[in-house]
Amino acid sequence: MNINLSDLTLDNIGLWPYPVKLGLVGVVFLMLTGLGYWLMVKPNFDEYARLKNQELGLRSDFELKQFQASNLMDYKYQLVLMQERFGKMLKQLPTKNEMPGILEDISKTGVASGLIFNLFAPMPEVVHDFYIELPIKIAVVGNYHQFAIFLSRIVQMSRIVTLHDLEIDRPTSDKTPSDKEKEIPGDKLTMKLTAKIYRYRTQ
């Protein structure tokens, strides 16, 4: 049967051939299905995906908080230990008024170890976050045994003193007769280093 599409109008839709009606119903069904998916189903899928991601995030947060809660006592114990250690370290940091006494102690320690001081020069202070560092340039004359005694006593001081840039050499001979090196016996050596002492920064 020949079908003239120009004769098919909505006014005579009841007279349309069955295949055409079936095709029209299919097209309308597909359009309604697509529109329904776009307006109703797709937003639900998007919401489901969002909630799924939120669930994963909440699960991770829960597992982390559960782990932290189960280790809370350990964290508190570690915090107490850290506070105690920090307190002990602060006690080892002198106040500004105590710095001259520490400088004197270092000097006396060197003399008691049998060393001769060629240089003992405090340098400008270096300010850090919560402490202030005072470098001291030191040059002494002695032998290995005296150096070892001096360094071990410095390390054992009740205050924090660190040693840096240590150099041990034989005395130079290109000095004037008035220089101390001319009076140094042949078995003596010179040691140069930078000692750093620290004090708590109050401001």
Q: What is the mean pLDDT of residues 104-118?
A: 92
Task: Answer with the residue of higher pLDDT: 42 or 192.
Answer: 192
Position 107 in a domain: yes
pLDDT of residue 16: 62
- CATH label of the domain that carries residue 142: 3.30.70.60
Instruction: Tell me, yes or no, whether 56 and 110 share the same domain.
Output: no
91 domain residue, yes or no = no
Is residue 10 assigned to a domain? Answer: no
- The dihedrals phi and psi of 157, each to the nearest 5 degrees, come to -65, 150
**Tokens read off for 3:** 């079908």
pLDDT band of residue 137 (cuts 50, 70, 90) is very high
What integer best gives the mean pLDDT of the chain? 78
177 vs 202, higher pLDDT? 202
**Contact (CB, 8 A) for 102 and 197:** yes
Highest mean pLDDT among 64-78, 118-132, 138-152: 138-152
Q: Are residues 42 and 114 in the same domain?
A: no
Structural domain for 138, as ranges: 96-200
Task: Give the residue among 134, 56, 55, 146 at the shortest CA–CA distance from 101.
Answer: 134
What is d(CA 10, CA 76) in angstroms, rounded to the nearest whole number? Answer: 82
- Is the same domain home to 52 and 105? no
pLDDT band per the 50, 70, 90 thresholds, residue 18: low
* Closest C-alpha among 118, 130, 101, 112 to residue 175: 118
* pTM, 2 dp: 0.50
Boundary residue ending a domain (53, 70, 87): 70
Q: Taking the CB of residue 63, how many other CB atoms lie within 10 A of it?
A: 10
Does residue 58 sit in the same domain as residue 152?
no
Residue 89 lies in a domain: no
Shared domain for 56 and 107, answered yes or no, is no
Beta bridge partners of 137: 121, 194
Q: Would residue 110 count as lying in a domain?
A: yes
For residues 100 and 189, membership in a common domain is answered with yes
